[in-house]
Each structure stands twice: as structure tokens, then as C-alpha cells.
Amino acid sequence: MFQDFAGNAWALARRQHGVITRWQLLELGFSERAIEHRIRTRRLHPVWRGVYAVGRPELTRYGLWMGAVLACGPHACLSHASAAELWEIRRPGSGPIEVSVPAGVRRSRAGILLHRREAFGERDVTRRSGIPVTTVVCTLVDQAMRLSRDELEAAINEADKRDLVDPETLRAVLPRGRPGVTTLRGTLDRRTFTLTDSQLERRFLPLARRAGLPKPQTRQYVNGFQVDFYWPELGLVVETDGLRYHRTPAQQAKDRVRDQAHAAAGLTSLRFTRAQVRYEPGDVLATTRAVADRLR
């Protein structure tokens, strides 16, 4: 299907997840007549004005993202929810593809939500999988005004888990005067934000605070095992088990070894299930408070 495409054109389309633009084809030596011929013979499939899927009309999500950016001009980039999805710090959504452009750009495309920015520079944009996209920091700032506290914490945690940016670095590099920064800084406040690894763990943190416990250490290695929450001053370890990782016999056996290692070291280990934390928070709170009072 691509036999008549010049090698450079095909290579470019592959780098761009199956899409190419009219101006790129012209630069590669294709005439307007040659382009129109390939559209009529269904070798090029219009996606947006001046943007074509090569060979077949179906595009992956990456192809649609790349095509949307190309359709919005040379200084456009994926942003907001679409950028968060590309960075894999938010779940896929069903809304339009979101693209940011400089304030002076005056164009619109069906299915694309444009964000025109007054102050938008190279430091705000990078590439991921070859697609121009707002940086992780910029993406988190953009999302901060849209997400709930729990959702924003989840996005920050995902960014850290994927080694994109850690909370300390994020605090240090946040830009000034941009909408969303104040909300993001509040979420990152050292007194209230504790790095966790799952929504289940974040549900437990308020219960621990209500039980009178101070801020725990998280993701610490204790007796050779990474634990969810650790209070060294009390000798208390708390694990919150999601069914996805703790329902097999092999995993249950590993959990017993972990608990036994903590007991041998003189620590108290509590383990709560997903159902307990989500549907029986009163019981979790009462147990945690009683154990914390005893250890004090």
C-alpha cells in the first residue's frame, strides 16, 4: 500500500504514528496533483484539514494525538487531559483531544479542544513517543484546577511511580503565577501530602490521622520488605492489601513471611483489606486507634 511513497515520506509517516501533512508531502517533493491522486485512490485518508492517515484510515490513539497536534500548527502540543493520558498519569477519557497553541493562533478543528496560551515557551513542551506534549510539570499544573484532591494526588503518585517527576522536584520547579499552581502546591504541602502507591492506601491515610497517628513514612524498606506505612517511633507497620496483588496463595504466603519478619523484630504489623478500608472504615479506625494507644 505504500509502494509508491518515497522512502523518506514513508519513514516520516511511521515516525508520526501513521500520519503525515500536506506541507510535509510538498517538502518531500510531492506535487498537489500527486497528493490529490493519492487521496482519490485512498492511499491518503483525510483526518483533519491537511492531515492524512497513510494507507488505511484507522489510527491508533497515538496517531490521533499526533494528527491533532499537526493539524493545529508547528507550535502546537498535546496538553491537559490528553497529555496526562499520554504520560499515563491519568486514565483514558472520552472527551475531545486537547491541544495547546500560542495565543496568536486562530484556527479550529472538529474534535480538538484548543487552549490558547499567552505565556507558553519551549520549557513547557517536550516529546513523548515522538509527540509534542506539555511537560509532566506543566501537565500537572493544567490538571490541578480540574481534579479533586484525591485525583490530583493519584496523578502525582503515578508521575513519581513512573520516574517522571518526584514530589520534591515538582515543588522546586513549579512556575509562578500560573493557574493551578496554588492548588498543586497545597496538595504537595509536606504537612498533608504523603506519597502512597494506590487509591486504597490514600483512603487509609485520613483514618490514620483520625486515629491520632502522626504522618507515616511510606515506601520504606523494613526488615527487607517495602511496607505501605511505617511509624518507627511506635514500631508499627500497616499494610493495605488490594485484591489484585494479594489474592493468590503464593502472595498470601509471602505476606505471612513479611508479618513474621516484623514480629521477630519486635514490630506490630496490621493488615487491612480493600473491603475493610472502603466499606468498614469505622472498624479500621477503631482497630488502628486501639493499637496505636497500646503502643504509646
Give the CATH superfamily of 199-295.
Answer: VSR Endonuclease (3.40.960.10)
- CB atoms closer than 10 angstroms to residue 294: 10
* pLDDT reported for residue 237: 96
Sign of CA dihedral 112, 118, 123, 124: negative
Half-sphere exposure of 38 (CA within 13 A, CB side): 26
Sign of CA dihedral 39, 44, 48, 49: negative
Residue 275: predicted pLDDT: 73
Nearest-5° Cα angle at 76, 71 to 80: 105
Give exposure, 237-270, as e/b (b: 16+ Cβ within 10 Å): bbbbbeeeebeeeeeeeebeebbeebeeeebbbb
pLDDT value, residue 131: 98
In whole angstroms, how far apart are CA 49 and each of 11, 23, 70, 72, 128?
22, 11, 10, 10, 24
Which tens digits make up the pLDDT trace of 233-280?
A: 999 999 887 654 445 677 778 888 999 999 999 999 999 987 788 778
- What is the number of helices (H) and of strands (E) in the chain? 14, 12
CB of 251 within 8 A of CB of 245?
yes
DSSP 174: P
Residue 152 contacts residue 184 (beta carbons within 8 Å): yes
The confidence score (pLDDT) of residue 236 equals 97
Strand segments, DSSP code E, in the chain are 19-21, 44-48, 51-54, 77-78, 97-102, 112-117, 125-128, 131-134, 217-222, 225-231, 236-241, 268-273
Domain with CATH 3.40.960.10 in the chain: 199-295
Q: What amino acid occupies position 264? A: A
- pLDDT by position in tens, the chain (length 296): 344 456 788 889 999 999 999 999 999 999 999 999 999 999 999 999 999 999 889 999 999 999 999 999 888 999 999 999 999 999 888 889 999 998 877 878 899 999 998 867 778 899 999 999 999 999 999 999 999 988 898 898 889 888 899 888 898 888 887 889 999 998 888 667 776 667 777 889 999 999 999 999 988 899 999 898 999 999 999 988 765 444 567 777 888 899 999 999 999 999 998 778 877 899 999 999 999 999 98
Do the beta carbons of residue 84 and residue 144 sit within 8 Å? no
Residue 74, classed as helix, strand or coil, is coil
